Structure 1
Amino acid sequence: MTLLLLVLFAALVFEYINGFHDTANSIATVVSTKVLTPRQAIMLATFFNLIGALAGTAVAKTIGGGLIDTSFVTIPAVLCALSGAIVWNIFTWWLGLPSSSSHALIGGLCGSALAAAHGNWGVLKWSYIDAKGASAGLWPKVVMPMILSPLAGFIIGALIMYILYAALRKATPRFVNKTFGKLQLVSAAWMGFSHGSNDAQKTMGIIALALFTGTKAGTLDNLPEWLSFLRTPTFDIHLWVVILCALTMAAGTAAGGWRIIKTMGHKMVKLQPVHGFAAETTAAAIIGVASHIGIPLSTTHVISTSIMGVGATKRFSAVKWGIVGRMVWAWILTIPICGFIGYSLMRLAHFAD
């Protein structure tokens, strides 16, 4: 029981860190364009992250049961997965790199599950057809979106920006800035909602997996009656888990993440309100679709490449590609490093038994 409570605590710590680590995803552009102050932007993102987090559970079900064989998963494995993701998130936040919390969690989960299965690679669900007849598993839900979503962000962001350039070619700069300063409030709110609808669900899935695993192993058999709601004989996302994760992410978002906001909103490319609107609208639409079909997308990758695509329409050199290169390396390394940390911690847990 103590170990399960530790897992729940670690999951909420991860959710809180995810909130302030990925706050920049929602508000970097609206801050850099000076439409809102950082404090105002964080309040906006906090509210819409909370609303988005309550919007569904499709992503949570993918994380909790769609990527690994849960029959091999133990509560220590879940704790090791969370620990790997937390370490990487704090490290990249300290460096100001907008890495993916989603991929950190997925990498940690795959690594710890592989160690729990004693190196049996069959524990990882690479590709299969789910009960609804849709493609599922690591390849269609993680690997392909990891490649395609940044490309979509860059291309669609640039395309929307070119369309806006054509539509506004006769408009005055004052009119454009005033109009899109207002419209960016809408796009920033949509981005906050989309971010909450995708990222908050990942921790919901992890908590549900821990409760299901603990119930199956008999760890929760002797719980007092007032804690009986923790027993989860089938993999379900309970309402209290949804509400708890939503509130925790909102609290983390309220804490802000100024290091990453500076990288995405100020260092990567200089934006005006029209650019911020195009980038946020692009990213929010892509993330919203992914949340609906249960893909645990990297919101970081999508908004970052949307900003790149929009910025590149000004002129290709407007994007500071050196900073982009550092970010891409962080993206590439996230899953293998977190997988290695999760695997190593789980192996240490085996030796300690």
Structure 2
Amino acid sequence: MTETAVLLALVVVTALAFDFTNGFHDTANAMATSVATGALRPKVAVALSGTLNLIGAFLSIEVALTVTNAVVKIQNPDGAPKPELIGDGGFALLLIVLAGLVGGIVWNLFTWLLGLPSSSSHALFGGLIGATIAGLGWAGVNWSGNGSKLDGVIGKVLLPAVMSPVIAGVVAAVGTWLIYKVTTGVAARFTDSGFRWGQIGSASLVSLAHGTNDAQKTMGVITLALIAAGEWTDTDDIPFWVKLVCALAISFGTYLGGWRIMRTLGKGLVEIAPPQGFAAESASAAVILSSSHLGFALSTTQVATGSILGSGVGRRGAAVRWAVAGRMVVAWLVTIPAAAGVGAGMWWIGDLVGGLPGAVLIFALLVAAAAAMYLRSRRTPVNHTNVNDEWQDASTRGRTPVGAGD
């Protein structure tokens, strides 16, 4: 077995590890409001979400193709693949992909430890961008695709990052206002009961949408690695086995729950009533599904957070914890550069050591970092038994809120 083949295997394993972290990091996007309002029991919610993520992963490949083609310039202007990155020269690109994946995973685990719903997608893109700049220079990043600002990193990643949470927030705010306007005079026990049933449907749709968007990002990364190794040549399709393993990985990760982030989204931003939860989930599903159809690799976390904030704004008298929201926005702003820094650092370490030993060292550092953060999380465990406990800010009890930091 050649060094390139061994490195390809390492990249595939690491990519599936990222897909797994993406699953438990983002479970809250679909199910936090349903769990918070009591529409679904925690364990039922994550089982339902995991199943629908599995199904959703097979519904489209547009986002996967975006990841394959929109980050690293693997083709010359005439459309021919760059020989220094493909086939015999594929080791260099595989090392970039491995380093980028490590950057994404480390940031995912770090923000999960803090209970911050940052973007798994932007962590992945940040890691890949940082490793690409380190390995190939700024010109190696596919900033604008074929010359159009709506292609490449700018159009497919950065613009959706700015626009999607705002659009989702506005839609959720208007939807929440309309719901309360229409149901004025109806007894709260009837509206809450009805909207809890509605939440089951809307949360399920968000889970399905999450599968169509986020699972595909790992599909695109693995396909890029296969192209680098010369094992795949079609930049307009994804191998079926890649779709299958990625769907299973994100589904299993989703089933584990990601309770720390679910607590922050469900209890830390707004005290959510069932009508608000229904409006927020419906807005999230609409934005994510529309973007997946267009191939925009947006952040489902930012969409869900924007929707929840919008549901608070749209309900008269609702208390929105803007301090918590502010911490989330800071995490959003630093995700891409932070993950890029880790990705670039990992590439430099791998390149300094050289060859397969350098790649193995990168992988070993990832395992060590993941183990350290997991052990740290055990000091303040959050699970299905306490995910719905009353939220208390640090200022009210003298210590950090459960699930919001250590």
TM-score under structure 2 normalisation?
0.80
Q: Distance in 2 between matches of 1:191 and 1:146?
A: 18
Residues 244 and 177 from structure 1, CA distance in 2 versus in 1: closer, same or farther, beyond 3 angstroms? same
Given the alignment, which residue of 172, 187, 193 partners 2:202? 187
Shift of 1:315: 4.3
Aligned residue for 2:229, secondary structure, equals helix
Q: Distance in 1 between matches of 2:163 and 2:285?
A: 15
Within the alignment, does 1:325 sit opposite 2:340 as a pair?
no
Could you tell me which residue of structure 2 aligns to residue 94 of structure 1?
113
Unaligned regions of 5+ residues in structure 2, if any? 75-81, 86-91, 355-406
Q: Distance in 2 between matches of 1:335 and 1:316?
A: 35
What code does the residue aligned with 2:9 have?
L
Identity across the alignment (%): 43
Q: Distance in 2 between matches of 1:189 and 1:296?
A: 20
Could you tell me which residue of structure 2 aligns to residue 222 of structure 1?
none
| Contact kept in structure 2, 1:129 and 1:135, CA below 8 Å | no
Task: List structure 1 segments (4+ residues) > 3 angstroms apart after TM superposition.
Answer: none
Within the alignment, does 1:42 sit opposite 2:61 as a pair?
no
Greater shift after overlay, 45-54 or 233-242?
233-242
Shift of 1:65: 1.0
Given the alignment, which residue of 181, 189, 208 partners 1:174? 189
Given the alignment, which residue of 120, 126, 130 partners 2:143? 126
Aligned residues: 334
Q: Distance in 1 between matches of 2:149 and 2:126?
A: 23
Q: Distance in 2 between matches of 1:264 and 1:46?
A: 18
Within the alignment, does 1:158 sit opposite 2:138 as a pair?
no
What code does the residue aligned with 2:232 have?
T
Given the alignment, which residue of 8, 13, 26 partners 1:9? 13
Could you tell me which residue of structure 2 aligns to residue 109 of structure 1?
128
Q: Distance in 2 between matches of 1:69 and 1:307?
A: 37
Shift of 1:251: 0.6
Q: Distance in 2 between matches of 1:165 and 1:317?
A: 12
Could you tell me which residue of structure 2 aligns to residue 227 of structure 1?
none
Q: Distance in 1 between matches of 2:38 and 2:269?
A: 16
Aligned residue for 2:226, secondary structure, equals helix
Could you tell me which residue of structure 1 aligns to residue 264 of structure 2?
263
Q: Distance in 1 between matches of 2:23 and 2:142?
A: 28
| Contact kept in structure 2, 1:83 and 1:342, CA below 8 Å | yes
Q: Distance in 1 between matches of 2:353 and 2:318?
A: 53
TM-score under structure 1 normalisation?
0.92
**Any residues of structure 2 matched to 1:213-292 within 5 Å, and which?**
213-215=228-230, 231-235=231-235, 236-292=237-293
What code does the residue aligned with 1:213 have?
A
Q: Distance in 1 between matches of 2:233 and 2:95?
A: 19
Could you tell me which residue of structure 1 aligns to residue 57 of structure 2?
53
What code does the residue aligned with 2:128 have?
L
RMSD over aligned CA atoms reads 1.5
Aligned residue for 1:233, secondary structure, equals coil
| Contact kept in structure 1, 2:97 and 2:225, CA below 8 Å | yes
Shift of 1:2: 1.3
Residues 167 and 315 from structure 1, CA distance in 2 versus in 1: closer, same or farther, beyond 3 angstroms? closer
Given the alignment, which residue of 34, 37, 49 partners 1:33? 37
Could you tell me which residue of structure 2 aligns to residue 66 of structure 1?
70
Deviations 1:103-153 (A, max 9, x none): 000001111111111x2x1212222448xx993111111111111111101
Aligned residue for 1:337, secondary structure, equals helix
Q: Distance in 1 between matches of 2:145 and 2:229?
A: 26
Shift of 1:67: 2.4
Shift of 1:285: 0.4
- Of structures 1 and 2, the one scoring higher in RCO (CA 8 A, sep 6+) is 1
